A and B are shown apart, each in its own frame.
Chain A
Amino acid sequence: MINTSEILQTVHMITEEKLDIRTITMGISLYSCIHPDSRELYRRIYDKITHQAERLVPVGEALECEFGIPIVNKRISVSPISLIAAACRDPLTAARAMDDAARETGVNFIGGYTALVQKGLTESDRRLIDSLPEALAETERVCASVNVASTRAGIDMDAVRLCGEAVKEIAERTRETDASGCMKLVIFSNAVEDNPFMAGAFHGPGEGESCINVGISGPGVVKRALEKEARGAPFDVVAETIKRTAFKITRVGQLVAREASSRLGVPFGIVDLSLAPTPAMGDSVAHILEEMGLEVCGCAGTTAALALLNDAVKKGGVMASSQVGGLSGAFIPVSEDIGMINAARSGALCIEKLEAMTCVCSVGLDMIAVPGNTPASTLAAIIADEAAIGMVNSKTTAVRLIPAPGKDVGDEVEFGGLFGRAPIMRVSPYSSEAFIARGGRIPAPLQSLKN
């Protein structure tokens, strides 16, 4: 029998410490929809998604009610569209079908407008990347991603250049809303195939017909546990406390994932053990780092603190779930974390420090607003730097930059809701033009002689 204090602890985590399930994401394979005629392609994609995900939102809402825990997002990811739309040569039709199907099923985002180009670009990949500005400006709920590098293939620098140009163009096409289109594009190195988190979610080519992936959250719970149990204690105690907390959080994720999977009749995929912050007070990863003794996130020691946090979350969570996957780790999206926003505002946190932090945690330079006049080549070079970190360290890294038109350092952009707001961060004023103009591939790194 569960005792009173355990019951109250769980209730407290949910009501006061903002424990929630961040997303239930249904992955859907679209291979069966491939057709050379664009009208037929539209119909097949729309029908398949709306049929398969018909009950996703109602089931998600029922689970919220019964378990008494918020499930913030219900989402869909689909097979990379560059593969699905290759025969009909019209990726935009697929984007429209995805958008319409997302609206019909009631999900707020649908991911998978994706090209996997780490080793080279097919004609279809190129068409998809070229169509990104139009697709993201025109649709509301479609999220896109491009994988430009991997540890085994190296970095495709032609794709990196195209992505830099695409980001710039998307910003221009959505300038009315402070380049909000850029929030829906993630550029990856070592992208994972079962990530439930947007904007980078897609249903990988190696996945089955359909699956349920769940992303958990809970920075507030970890912060509170450290305050209560580990204030001033040595790091061993800090790591233990985080592990225990991550275990509890993940068990809830596993429960919801299994329950959603059985009610929807769709196999359970993975639980993603991520600490995903929101701009709400008490839901910040930066504040966990500050609880460890840093005056402000971004000061010396931040990378070490984040390394400990990231590792302890995984160690605690791994035993709590039968299948772990996705991005699993601590996220550091600047605009979505009140502690990061404040650190960036005060100048304590700069892009270069964030880049260092991405070496030891999940994902990468995420939701970072930069001056609107940043050249495409500089954006591409930042993408290349981040891709190199992922490639060399055999980890996933990603870039989601927002070059806000007409804005400069000192300004802020407001995205609203979970996306938060971001102070414009300084980027190097020196040119990477000639570096990016080279194109070609950066070869895959050696996997031995590790130093």
Chain B
Amino acid sequence: MEKKNQAVVTVVGRDTIGIIAKVSRILAEHDANILDISQTVLSGMFNMIMIVDISLSEFAALSGALSTLGEQIGLEIRIQRSEIFDAMHRI
């Protein structure tokens, strides 16, 4: 499997104003480029998945900044390299 330098950001929790803005700002600050966004709000539960290019990002710093943001606004924010999803769901 080739290295794609892509990661998946998942954000789950109560919907509030400005979630995408806050997450995007951190991604921009860490030079991560958003490739795709999908988002749903089901009975007040916010569910967002972003595919980002992290070729220029320092992973640990970005991951730390996202989880700090998650704690601040009470949402669960995770970032994982996309290979784990490819490995599990694609042969």
Contacts and interface: CB of A to CB of B under 8 A. Distances in A.
A67 interface: yes
B24 interface: no
Contacts of A11: 10, 12, 78, 80
B49 A248 contact: no
Contacts of A62: 60
Interface in B50-91: 51, 59-60, 63, 76, 78-90
Nearest to A249: B88
A66 B59 contact: yes
Given A62-B60, A66-B81, A67-B81, A251 B8 contact: no
Nearest to B12: A11
B38 interface: yes
A254 interface: yes
The DSSP consensus for interface residues of chain A is helix
A10 B84 contact: yes
Interface stretch (A1-9, A230-238, A433-441): A1-9
Given A65-B60, A252-B87, A7 B81 contact: no
A4 B49 contact: yes
Given A251-B88, A255-B87, A66 B80 contact: yes
A269 to B, nearest CB: 18
B86 A2 contact: yes
Contacts of B84: 10, 67-69, 252, 255
Interface string B18-52: 00000000000000000010100000000101010
Contacts of A248: 88-89
B78 A68 contact: yes
Interface residues on A, range: 20 to 34
A4 B38 contact: yes
B57 to A, nearest CB: 11
A6 B10 CA distance: 12
A156 B12 CA distance: 58
B11 to A, nearest CB: 11
Given A11-B10, A65-B60, A251 B80 contact: no
Nearest to B39: A4
Contact of B10 (A8, A252, A259): A8
Contacts, number: 61
A338 to B, nearest CB: 25
Contact of B90 (A2, A7, A68): A2
Contact of B89 (A6, A65, A68, A259): A6
Given A7-B8, A65-B59, A69-B84, A2 B89 contact: yes
Interface in A202-249: 248
B18 to A, nearest CB: 22
Interface string A1-26: 11010111111000100000000000
Contacts of A10: 84-85, 88-89
B63 A6 contact: no
Contacts of A67: 80-81, 83-84
Most A-side CB within 10 Å, residue of B36, B63, B85, B90? B85
Contacts of A1: 36, 51
B59 A7 contact: no
Contacts of B90: 2
A1 B51 CA distance: 10
Contacts of B60: 62, 65
Contacts of A259: 83
A11 B60 CA distance: 19
A84 to B, nearest CB: 37
A1 B85 CA distance: 10
B24 to A, nearest CB: 18
Nearest to B47: A8
Given A7-B8, A10-B88, A11-B10, A2 B82 contact: yes
B79 A68 contact: yes
A248 B86 CA distance: 10
Nearest to B38: A4
B38 to A, nearest CB: 6
A1 B49 CA distance: 13
A67 B79 CA distance: 8
A436 B65 CA distance: 62
A69 B89 CA distance: 16
B85 A7 contact: yes
B87 A251 contact: yes
Given A8-B49, A11-B80, A259-B83, 14 more contacts: A2-B82, A4-B49, A6-B85, A6-B88, A7-B85, A9-B89, A10-B85, A62-B60, A66-B59, A68-B80, A69-B84, A252-B84, A252-B87, A255-B83
Interface of B: 8, 10, 12, 36, 38, 47, 49, 51, 59-60, 63, 76, 78-90
18 contacts: A1-B36, A2-B8, A2-B82, A4-B38, A4-B49, A7-B10, A8-B47, A8-B49, A9-B89, A10-B88, A15-B76, A67-B80, A67-B81, A67-B83, A68-B79, A68-B84, A248-B89, A252-B88
